[in-house]
């Protein structure tokens, strides 16, 4: 395949981007006047790598000279500025302004070197600076990054949130910068057969030294990319094996038959599923709620597999979640019992189950399944009331059942 693709991927309209920058700068100026603090616009908007979406998330960072109650200080500044915002709890609390687009106001430390960072967001200033320097070396890099981000977003692998466990925007910028182009990146992912280890800053002598020096928890991802702005950080630590595998398959398919369709996110076709469940949680909207709803989805799947063959499943989150299933009822369920040498346990097992049989020195019981999914879910909710309460699940209802 040639190093160029013959079609253009839609980018945000220049006028649209200009308006976003103007609004972000207006908010920044308001914060500066109210708090006499240093403010900078970060993320994709600052690096001109923003991709076309219905709604944009814009990062605005407020820098403080010392790490002392900086979230509380920012909250006071926002109140004084009369910018109506919502506090979002995290490793460090930040604030969200909901307008036509979403502006996230994030408190960070004003540090001179990455080693002084107390939170990953403190590195954002260095991230912007690094990528802009790479763009000066490669004039086409911004467009190549937009291609990669659009492709990744379409494959539902874009985002480091715990319910996605995919590629962050900065991670994609680093990968495309390293491989030189979108195609270079896609080809590298497609042919990968083992963990990819990259150290563009050449902080370590070899791969073995990287594995010995980085925290073990940061080395579990399919890609280890030593952050060129901070050698102790793996910029791809959030990426899961499951998301990587799905993305790799998409890369292989794209290289075999490149098409525009790979850059457009397909909506889940509800016709492919015979059960759809809607779930909601009282947990904080975003990463917290999304991860809880995904965790509960996986819990439901594990339990449902005892009674149904799950032929296809999918998960979707946007404020609330939808659980999609194509399933078929099993004829029976087999329960594993005690070994035959435990007579007292065998008797108790027989009292509990009617159809008991012995196999390889252990008791088993057959139980016919004579209920549908609607009946199953009612029983599941009753049996797992405490689990649902602990996970903040306050709504679980079937919206489609065939």
pLDDT digits (tens, 9 = 90+) for 12-62: 888 999 999 999 999 999 999 998 899 999 999 999 999 998 889 999 999
Q: Return the beta strands (E) in 282-361 as ranges.
A: 308-318, 320-329, 332-339, 355-359
Residue that is written with structure tokens 């030189």 in the block: 180
How far is residue 363's CA from residue 377's CA, in Å, rounded to a whole number? 28
What does the block give as tokens for 214?
């980085």
Give Cβ neighbours of residue 345 (< 8 Å, ≥ 6 apart).
Answer: 337, 338
Q: Is the pLDDT confidence value at 333 over 80?
A: yes
Lay out the sheet containing 355-359: strands in order across.
332-339, 362-368, 355-359
Buried b (16+ CB within 10 A) or exposed e, 377-394: beebeeebeeebeebbbe
Question: Dihedral of the CA atoms 324, 90, 222, 157 (nearest 10)?
Answer: 40
Closest CA to 129 of 41, 225, 22: 41
Q: What is the mean pLDDT of the chain?
A: 93
Q: Exposed, middle or buried by CB within 10 Å (0-12, 13-18, 19+), for 219?
A: middle
Q: Which domains does the chain have, with CATH numbers?
A: 9-136 (3.30.460.10), 138-266 (1.10.1410.30), 270-331+369-401 (3.30.70), 332-368 (3.30.70)
Contact present, 367 and 250 (Cβ < 8 Å)? no
- For residue 11, list its beta bridge partners: none
What is the model's pLDDT at position 341? 85
Q: Inter-axis angle of helices 241-256 and 141-154, to 10 degrees?
A: 110
Alpha helices for 83-197 (secondary structure H): 124-137, 141-154, 169-179, 182-191
What is the model's pLDDT at position 215? 86
- For residue 334, list its beta bridge partners: 366
Q: Is the pLDDT confidence value at 69 over 60?
A: yes
How far is residue 372's CA from residue 116's CA, in Å, rounded to a whole number? 58
How many beta carbons lie within 10 A of that of residue 54, not counting itself? 5
The percentage of the chain sitting over the pLDDT mark of 70, rounded to a whole number, equals 98
In Å, how far from its chain's centre is CA 237? 12
Mean pLDDT for the stretch of residues 370-393: 93
Question: Dihedral of the CA atoms 283, 286, 287, 288 (nearest 10)?
Answer: -10
Mean pLDDT for the stretch of residues 265-281: 94
Closest CA to 321 of 272, 359, 288, 357: 288
Give Cβ neighbours of residue 5 (< 8 Å, ≥ 6 apart).
Answer: 147, 182, 183, 258
Q: Is the pLDDT confidence value at 357 over 60?
A: yes
Question: Dihedral of the CA atoms 370, 374, 380, 382 (nearest 10)?
Answer: -110
Tell me the three state secondary structure of residue 366: strand
Contact present, 381 and 396 (Cβ < 8 Å)? yes
What is the model's pLDDT at position 237? 95
Closest CA to 336 of 327, 345, 326: 345
How far is residue 271's CA from residue 78's CA, in Å, rounded to a whole number? 47
| Torsion over CA: 203, 207, 208, 211 (sign) | positive
Q: What is the CA radius of gyration of the chain?
A: 25
Q: Is the pLDDT confidence value at 4 over 60?
A: no
What is the model's pLDDT at position 24? 96
What does the block give as tokens for 372?
């549908």
């Amino acid at each position: 395949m040639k190093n160029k693709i013959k079609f253009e991927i839609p980018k945000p309209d220049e006028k649209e981007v200009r308006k976003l920058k103007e609004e972000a700068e207006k908010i920044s100026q308001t914060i500066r006047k109210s708090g006499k603090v240093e403010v900078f616009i970060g993320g994709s908007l600052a690096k001109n790598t923003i991709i076309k979406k219905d709604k944009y998330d814009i990062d605005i960072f407020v820098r403080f000279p010392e790490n002392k109650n900086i979230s509380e200080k920012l909250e006071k500044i926002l109140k004084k500025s009369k910018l109506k915002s919502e506090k979002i709890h995290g490793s460090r609390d930040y604030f969200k302004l909901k307008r036509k687009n979403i502006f996230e106001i994030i408190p960070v430390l004003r540090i001179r070197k990455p080693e002084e960072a107390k939170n990953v967001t403190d590195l954002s200033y260095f991230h912007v600076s690094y990528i802009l320097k790479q763009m000066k070396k490669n004039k086409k890099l911004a467009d190549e990054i937009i291609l990669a981000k659009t492709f990744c977003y379409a494959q539902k692998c874009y985002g480091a949130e715990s319910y996605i466990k995919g590629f962050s925007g900065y991670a994609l910028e680093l990968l495309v910068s390293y491989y030189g182009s979108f195609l270079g990146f896609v080809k590298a992912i497609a042919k990968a057969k083992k963990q990819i280890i990259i150290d563009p800053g050449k902080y370590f002598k070899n791969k073995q030294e990287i594995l010995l020096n980085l925290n073990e928890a940061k080395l579990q991802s399919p890609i280890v990319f030593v952050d060129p702005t901070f050698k102790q950080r793996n910029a791809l630590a959030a990426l899961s094996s499951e998301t990587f595998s799905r993305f790799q398959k998409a890369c292989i398919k794209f290289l075999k038959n490149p098409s525009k369709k790979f850059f457009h996110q397909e909506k889940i076709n509800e016709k492919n599923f015979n059960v759809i469940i809607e779930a909601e949680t009282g947990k904080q909207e975003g990463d917290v709620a999304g991860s809880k709803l995904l965790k509960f989805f996986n819990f439901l799947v594990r339990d449902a597999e005892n009674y149904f063959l799950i032929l296809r499943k999918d998960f979707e989150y946007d404020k609330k979640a939808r659980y999609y299933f194509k399933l078929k009822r099993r004829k029976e369920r087999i329960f594993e019992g005690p070994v035959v040498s435990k007579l007292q346990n065998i008797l108790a097992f027989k009292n509990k189950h009617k159809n008991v049989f012995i196999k390889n020195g252990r008791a088993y019981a057959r139980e016919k399944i004579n209920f549908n999914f609607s009946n199953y879910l009612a029983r599941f909710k009753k049996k797992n009331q405490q689990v649902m309460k602990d996970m903040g699940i306050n709504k679980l209802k079937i919206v489609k059942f065939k």
